[in-house]
């Protein structure tokens, strides 16, 4: 294997860390094949990623900067098409990114996230009561019964998603991150998503509330741009808009950054925000619980006050980022990476956030070891870097810190059920445990 001979990324994420190590060893960037035969450059060294993530010559807009997408050589039939076909801040470039990010940032501030602490504490308490009542001293799957339930309730409440949509959305989101599905399955999932999203937006238009969905609908519907303000298209119609329509407004100046969202941009922004807020938090909570359960000496450091629960969260983010790879970025022009490697104009770029967390150049020779006292624990890229830094980082950290603290306070003798490695979700994007079986042990005495 060499830079001229690409290797295939494992669509099921069988051993993402070994794969990431191979990418790092090849140099600043190496050729890989994505599912569906799409060729890309993979970048696995932390310093190179940080440089690219703030480089204006790197775009996330496939409609403007990926020739294969523009020409139709790669299209909606690609199993991972939804990762580049959506039109929201995560796939936008330049002033378009500023325009699309602004309404979401205004609605989802760090203060609003911090204000959710009482509700997070309440939900965690309810879930722990349910665990204690239904499995006293027995084994439970903490992913299903705890890590999954907390962000589900918080994020779905935050977005005002009616309960009848919870089940369908869970199914859709799981398929969204399943990078081993066929093109036909992916297209059916996208169609199902359109139906659910159309129902959600219509429901919140009829019944607005103090939630993120209503806030974004207001930002779209009160726009002064007649095209976006009166566009009657449904979510399904908007998703199938032409590339020219989807990219309308591209290149607008800073004065247009507050312009309203089109219907497609509204829907796609909602997809991004609650999908990222749900799946990644589930994975993060599972990782933090798992690492402390299998490293009791690390848990002892926290209990002794030598490390904080926030330290646990950062080290969990470093060692197992909730999202391993970031799809996709594109070279606006040729980019010289050094060491004889040039990423050509229009070439796709795959960023390995998971590789950055275990880069020995940053974290030392023991980068594979979980250590809550590690000096570099916060030097990860798990929430991105630069203009695309995750808006939900504050909420994810808060949910995880509260969940892990309260769990070990309630079940101080909890232990993993059985030995051996646990199965992981079958994805090279989503990075988490498929299940987390734990014997709870006796519940701590309840204070009067």
Q: What is the DSSP letter of 435?
A: -
- Please give the sequence-ordered ranges of beta strands (E in DSSP) within 38-93, or none if there are none: 38-43, 58-59
Marked catalytic residue, from 238, 352, 399, 414 = 399
Q: For the residues of 121-180, what is the DSSP string, one character each?
A: HHHHHHHHHHHHHHSTTSEEEHIIIIITHHHHHHHHHHTT--GGGHHHHHHHHHHHH-TT
| 8 A C-beta contact, residue 56 and residue 364 | no
Chain centre to alpha carbon of residue 220: 24
Query: d(Cα 48, Cα 338) in Å, to the nearest integer?
Result: 10
First to last CA, the chain: 64
Catalytic-residue membership of 308: no
Does the annotation count 279 as an active-site position?
yes
Is there a catalytic annotation at residue 310?
A: no
Reading the block at residue 255, the tokens are: 């004065």
Q: Kindly name the residue from 279, 291, 315, 320 that is annotated as catalytic.
A: 279
CA distances from 175 to 223, 252, 342 (A): 33, 35, 35
Which residue out of 276, 307, 316, 367 is catalytically annotated? 276
Concatenate the DSSP letters of all residues of 334-346 into one string: -EEEETTEEEPTT
Closest CA to 3 of 37, 35, 43: 43
- Structure tokens given for 123: 């939900």
Catalytic residue (choose from 390, 396, 400, 414): 390
Query: Sign of torsion, CA 294 297 302 307?
Result: negative
DSSP 279-292: HHHHHHHHHHHHHH
Catalytic residue positions? 276, 279, 281, 390, 399
């Amino acid at each position: 294997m060499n830079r001229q001979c690409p290797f295939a990324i494992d669509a099921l994420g069988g051993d993402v860390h070994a794969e990431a190590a191979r990418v790092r060893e090849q140099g600043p960037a190496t050729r890989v094949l994505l599912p569906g035969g799409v060729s890309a450059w993979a970048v696995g060294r932390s310093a190179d990623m940080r440089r690219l993530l703030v480089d204006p010559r790197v775009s996330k807009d496939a409609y403007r900067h990926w020739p294969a997408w523009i020409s139709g050589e790669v299209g909606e039939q690609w199993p991972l098409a939804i990762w580049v076909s959506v039109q929201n801040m995560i796939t936008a470039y330049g002033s378009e990114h500023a325009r699309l990010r602004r309404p979401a940032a205004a609605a989802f501030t760090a203060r609003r996230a911090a204000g959710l602490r009482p509700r997070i504490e309440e939900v965690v308490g309810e879930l722990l009561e349910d665990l204690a009542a239904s499995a006293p001293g027995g084994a439970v799957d903490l992913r299903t019964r705890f890590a999954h339930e907390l962000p589900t309730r918080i994020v779905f409440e935050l977005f005002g998603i009616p309960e009848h949509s919870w089940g369908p959305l869970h199914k859709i989101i799981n398929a969204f991150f399943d990078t081993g599905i066929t093109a036909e399955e992916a297209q059916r999932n996208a169609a199902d998503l359109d139906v659910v999203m159309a129902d959600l937006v219509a429901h919140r238009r009829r019944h607005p509330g103090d939630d993120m969905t209503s806030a974004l609908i207001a930002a779209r519907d009160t726009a002064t741009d007649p095209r976006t303000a009166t566009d009657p298209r449904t979510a399904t119609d908007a998703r199938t808009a032409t590339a020219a329509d989807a990219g309308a407004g591209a290149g607008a100046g800073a004065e247009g950054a507050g312009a309203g969202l089109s219907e497609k941009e509204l829907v796609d922004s909602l997809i991004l925000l609650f999908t990222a807020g749900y799946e990644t938090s589930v994975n993060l909570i599972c990782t933090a619980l798992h690492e402390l359960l299998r490293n009791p000496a690390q848990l002892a450091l926290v209990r002794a006050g030598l490390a904080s629960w926030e330290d646990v969260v950062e080290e969990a983010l470093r060692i197992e980022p909730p999202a391993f790879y970031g799809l996709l970025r594109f070279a606006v022009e040729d980019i010289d990476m050094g060491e004889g490697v040039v990423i050509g104009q229009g070439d796709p770029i795959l960023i390995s956030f998971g590789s950055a967390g275990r880069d020995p150049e940053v974290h030392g020779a023991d980068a594979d070891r979980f250590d809550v006292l590690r000096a570099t624990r916060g030097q990860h890229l798990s929430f991105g870097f630069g203009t695309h830094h995750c808006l939900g980082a504050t909420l994810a950290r808060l949910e995880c810190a509260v969940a892990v603290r309260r769990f070990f306070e309630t079940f101080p003798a909890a232990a993993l059920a059985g030995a051996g490695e646990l199965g992981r979700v079958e994805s090279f994007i989503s990075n988490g445990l498929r299940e987390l079986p734990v014997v709870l042990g006796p519940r701590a005495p309840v204070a009067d």
